[in-house]
Structure 1
Amino acid sequence: MKIAYITTYDISNTSTWSKNQVGLAGAGSYIAKSLASQSIELDYIGCLNKNFSLLTRPKWSFYRNLLHKDYYRWAEPLVLRDYAYQISEKLFRLNSDIVLCPENAVPIAYLECKQPIVLWTDSTLAGLINFYPYLSNLSKETETNIYAMEKAALDRCKLVILSSEWAAETAINIYGLNPCKVKVVPWGANIGCDRTSDQIRILVESRVSSPCKLLFVGVDWYRKGGDLALEIAKSLNLMGLNTELTVVGCQPMTNEPLPGFIKSLGFIDKSSQEGKDQINKLLRESHFLILPSRAESYGHVFCEANSFGVPCLATNTGGIPTIIKENINGKTFALEANISDYCNYIVFIMENYSEYKKMAISSFEEYQSRLNWDVATQTVKQLMTELL
């Protein structure tokens, strides 16, 4: 099988990934590597030029400065058709069997080609409107363009693969897709893992029960629930459970001085070896990853935590319930849950430490069985083979 691998960005150059794109771009990079390891030939088509700035720049200025609304030129039909033209020019010179886009509908919205098109993403963009902050103050024009773009792309696709049940249900409900062409295949961890079950057991046994070490990882303090994680750590200490909270990815947004049990490390670049080693060390030593997100389409970091035998505590929103199975690799809480709900659960698990160890081991088993890229791409490879 020969795949034309379509992205707007250069998957090999992390410096070109935007803040809103980094999750998708990281996934795209790992998907490519995993498919290549299965002896699948990939024709990379990326680094698309963003043209028509003379048209789109005045529109952006008009919406932002006068109407105080967000306008995105990547949703403009003229830009999308130009993306499709660039891809077609390259695709014409290739002998690919299938087109796979591991990003979103943007590059394939108006793509005309003889090959069947497959989209594999974490959510439709329409599903994120008024769910994610960057899509919550849209101009009417951009919102209309997004719906039209995705409708065109999804109609062209022979197969639409989403990373969670939530994303699949959202896509079907919004666009009336035939459920037969929609499949759910969870994404993996954007982190290397050669750990074995025996190594994880040794690692879990080496974690002492006190202090309870919580790890928060996220670049968006409020959306990821950093304020809630901070209050949970405070309450646990007041309840008598010696607790530490390490914050990675952003600085805590609080008007009060940080307590001594809060460690704020800021952004850590995982593309560097030093950054990888630092993240790996934090995951090895943590008892829980805590991420009470207010909105989350998926969350690679949950899979990454599980790859170290670290259970996850999060909210029951978006794609998170596809990853976290209750009391197997963590627990999800309702969006309206009280701080005490989290605290009572953590205290119970840490006071019954044998139960914690069981959950830590089963967290790694979940990573091994379904939350890694090898399993994911093997499943997608089979789906594409059947499609052909």
Structure 2
Amino acid sequence: MKIGFYSSMPLEDKKNWSGTMFKMYEQLLIQGYEVIWVPKVRFTEKEEKHFKLIEKWFNKIFNRGYNRHLFIYKAKIAAKRLEQNLKNFKIDVLFNPTHVNDFAYLKTDIPVIYLNDANVAQLLNYYHYYTGFGILSKIETKYLEKKTLKNAAYSIFSSDWASNFASDFYGINKEKIKTIKFGANIAVPETIEFNKNPTEFTFLFLAVDWVRKRGMLAYESLKILKEKGYPVKMLIVGCNPKIKADWVTIIPFLNKNNPDEFREIQNHLLSSHFLFVPTKADCTPIAFCEAAGYGLPVISTNTGGVSAHVIDGYNGSLLSPEAEAEDYADEIEKLLKSPEKVREFSENARKLYDKELNWKNWGNEFTTIIKNLR
């Protein structure tokens, strides 16, 4: 079977969507499919100027933001261009990860499998870059997303949070919606050591977005524990906040495509005791899948799709979105006083990875969907 993989970047590029696109491509090959890259449609310079002009006039008239990624005029142009492009490909299935706009008006006999980690409608006023849109832009966004979902033979989401929304909000047939959780985008050892140094505790903050992932909240929580005399350390990897403390180590950036830096990331996961990312908004944090593979309990927020990868009281702790530094410090203090609970969380994290938070499982589940198309 030939699967057309719709992507803005070559499928071999490991940076695309933090490596998630490559992992899906890799799994499709492992499953035995012939995978063909279908490049995302491009717009002319003249069209891009028209798009910017529409956004500018909307801002001027309504004094509100405009979703320039999803609007009807652009969607119709994209659909026609994609229809023409598809004539150059002989494929049995068209796999569309994340692209809503280009598929809303697409007319094709090729079955389309859509995938995303959230519905765009869920992100409105949830993610900062989906905030401030005018009411007409929001209506347009939801209208196009509903069309894309209805046109798809199947829609795959990485959490029930997203899957249930597609069904409940848009009325999409539940039989056409599947939840398949993502895996780790880095190699995971076959076995791990659960007996780590109990004399000091390293809390890993692995993230690029310091603000949305609420790194300062993590720092303030650990500072409370440090002042109480607990031997805690904070390891920040992926961003460079202005923090100076002898118990905090900052590594601004590590490239997964660089073998030496890749091994450094692995070593940090192996040596840390917790992954502590009290995120404000998230769909599917891949770092949480990677933490599970390395047996790291996760301390985070019960928001978005986080609970698909961190089960409160099983492989970590999820606090409410309103929780403050003192609340996180209290929860962590309970864990530090209960090493048997920490070990249980660690073992459960690895069990969760082996069961479903891995790409082999994703590939198998995807193949089940393909078989249902025949």
Q: TM-score, normalised by structure 1?
A: 0.89
Residue 127 of structure 1 contacts residue 171 of structure 1 at CA under 8 Å; is this kept in 2? no
1:204 aligned to 2:194?
A: yes
CA distance in 2, matches of 1:334, 1:375: 30
**Paired residue for 1:334?**
320
Paired residue total: 372
Aligned AA (1:204) = F
Deviation sequence 1:304-349 (CA, Å, 0-9, x none): 1111111111111110111111233212111122433322332332
Q: Which moved more, 1:331-340 or 1:240-249?
A: 331-340
**Paired residue for 1:7?**
7
Residue 102 of structure 1 contacts residue 120 of structure 1 at CA under 8 Å; is this kept in 2? yes
Aligned AA (1:172) = S
Aligned AA (1:123) = A
Residue 67 of structure 2 contacts residue 141 of structure 2 at CA under 8 Å; is this kept in 1? no
Deviation sequence 1:190-222 (CA, Å, 0-9, x none): 2223x21xx31xx322x2013210011222222
Among candidates 173, 176, 182, match of residue 181 of structure 1: 176
After superposition, residues 199-278 of structure 1 pair within 5 angstroms as 199-200=191-192, 203-205=193-195, 207-252=196-241, 258-278=244-264
After superposition, residues 318-329 of structure 1 pair within 5 angstroms as 318-329=304-315
CA distance in 2, matches of 1:63, 1:94: 38
CA distance in 2, matches of 1:63, 1:278: 47
**Paired residue for 2:93?**
98
**Paired residue for 1:34?**
27
1:13 Cα shift? 3.7
Aligned AA (1:156) = N
1:223 Cα shift? 1.5
Report the aligned-residue RMSD: 2.2
CA distance in 1, matches of 2:365, 2:232: 40
1:87 aligned to 2:70?
A: no
Deviation sequence 1:160-218 (CA, Å, 0-9, x none): 1111111112222321212221121111112223x21xx31xx322x201321001122
**Paired residue for 1:165?**
160
1:114 Cα shift? 0.8
1:260 Cα shift? 1.7
CA distance in 1, matches of 2:183, 2:107: 30
Aligned AA (2:7) = T
Q: TM-score, normalised by structure 2?
A: 0.92
Residue 28 of structure 1 contacts residue 103 of structure 1 at CA under 8 Å; is this kept in 2? no
Among candidates 349, 355, 362, match of residue 376 of structure 1: 362
CA distance in 1, matches of 2:12, 2:40: 10
1:107 aligned to 2:93?
A: no
Distance 1:59 1:268, change over 3 A: farther
Give 5+ residue unaligned stretches, structure 2.
Answer: none
2:364 aligned counterpart, secondary structure: helix
1:374 Cα shift? 0.9
Aligned AA (2:333) = V
Distance 1:56 1:376, change over 3 A: same
CA distance in 1, matches of 2:253, 2:23: 21
- Residue identity (%): 25
CA distance in 2, matches of 1:35, 1:83: 26
Residue 164 of structure 1 contacts residue 186 of structure 1 at CA under 8 Å; is this kept in 2? yes
Aligned AA (1:119) = Y
Aligned AA (1:90) = N
Residue 104 of structure 1 contacts residue 124 of structure 1 at CA under 8 Å; is this kept in 2? no
1:102 Cα shift? 1.7
1:14 Cα shift? 5.7
Aligned AA (2:176) = K
Residue 6 of structure 2 contacts residue 37 of structure 2 at CA under 8 Å; is this kept in 1? yes
Aligned AA (1:36) = L
CA distance in 2, matches of 1:14, 1:145: 33
1:68 Cα shift? 6.1
Residue 7 of structure 2 contacts residue 39 of structure 2 at CA under 8 Å; is this kept in 1? yes
2:69 aligned counterpart, secondary structure: helix
Deviation sequence 1:248-286 (CA, Å, 0-9, x none): 222336xxx532212222232223223312211211111
Residue 51 of structure 2 contacts residue 74 of structure 2 at CA under 8 Å; is this kept in 1? no
After superposition, residues 12-161 of structure 1 pair within 5 angstroms as 12-13=12-13, 22-23=17-18, 26-51=19-44, 52-62=47-57, 69-161=64-156
Q: Which moved more, 1:217-226 or 1:120-129?
A: 217-226
Aligned AA (1:3) = I
Deviation sequence 1:83-127 (CA, Å, 0-9, x none): 323332332233322221122323322221112211111011111
Deviation sequence 1:110-148 (CA, Å, 0-9, x none): 221112211111011111001100001224453233112
CA distance in 2, matches of 1:106, 1:6: 13
CA distance in 2, matches of 1:139, 1:12: 38
CA distance in 2, matches of 1:145, 1:10: 30
Residue 14 of structure 2 contacts residue 21 of structure 2 at CA under 8 Å; is this kept in 1? no
2:370 aligned counterpart, secondary structure: helix
1:191 aligned counterpart, secondary structure: coil
Q: Which moved more, 1:100-109 or 1:28-37?
A: 100-109
Give 5+ residue unaligned stretches, structure 1.
Answer: none
CA distance in 2, matches of 1:279, 1:221: 18
Residue 300 of structure 2 contacts residue 319 of structure 2 at CA under 8 Å; is this kept in 1? yes
1:34 Cα shift? 0.9
1:75 aligned counterpart, secondary structure: coil
CA distance in 2, matches of 1:104, 1:332: 30
